[in-house]
Chain A
């Protein structure tokens, strides 16, 4: 049992923390927002660093790292709200490698290297073959989705434009009518469930990163900003709001990493923890960004300051995956049993 990073994980955190701090600056985030929510230069740098496929097996062309190691990188990604679809891609790459797409080895290898960008669609394929609002749909070359009892994969030209949205995320509708089936039946169900659990657990970690960073911005600002002749951060009302946000952010971080460990180890209840961690992470990130924005006063609301970038993503990341009420309803099924059918 070790609830802190190992020395190796600490080194990974520092290396990627530096990379994201250097490359995914707030200016880079704004530049991506002016486009489709994607920074191709940053993606190339992550490819060079081996990040996109780091948690794919070596035999499949990946780095052979664990899901927990990947989560360490994702935490840094979340801190900088970096405009690249690292989590979607990494989870889809693992799904493709695991779902026996072995006959298309070159495809898996191209995804593992990051040469092709992959994503997965949480929503269903419509009757006409489209999936709406696919995360990273604007830039992904490969889209995996559920169609009936199958997992299908489509390779197509990404539109390169996103549907305008709250957080300028690369959300786009995709036509999956030409998608090929890569897994069916029980094998598809368990592979998909696992991918969703990984996605939720990793996004929970990303949320912990976002919450921690936006809180740090709030703390730094309230130490430096003076009103009534004293730092705003010396007022107890402000301190207590920040303390509550810090407590929830730390709880979210611990629950998120605990969920990643459980999913990685295939522990019973791992998917449940992942879902809980995602919901709590999203709520904690929203609370932290709300407090940080509030204690910036009017500047927090201005486009010039960075808090608003975090505030918008705190809301949007979760909703890309689905409605919170649905997530809670699924947890209720697990913990409380099915609802009785009404006549």
Chain B
């Protein structure tokens, strides 16, 4: 977006590392992908900036997002065929969520049209995020297998759920008119 306003003449005004200089964004090494924004900047600054975006595209993305939300909500409805296999639903919902996230990032956040700087920020952040989550596995996940005695006293087990369910069933038999 604002890239389109970046005339080379205005370059010194934007960015802390201006003076260090840099390969032009569309040099051979990094030209693949989507270096257009920077090119636009070199060419005509503003005029062609409306080449991307456009209200029609945004509405299309919006409709896609709504459809995807309905799809993940569909797992909750009674029509969902894999009621007894929750993993199917989870995988499906995560796929839907990732698609939605991708749509938002690419189009609403304009990353699709950005220059190659986007990889500089997003790839390390994504890797850090994944490592972060992975590092939690031994820290937190194993704690529920090896619990403190105090916690063990109070924590629920599947047997407690069964007990409650049995209580519910028993109550249905004895309850309403039973006392009278």
Asked if A pairs with B, the answer is: no
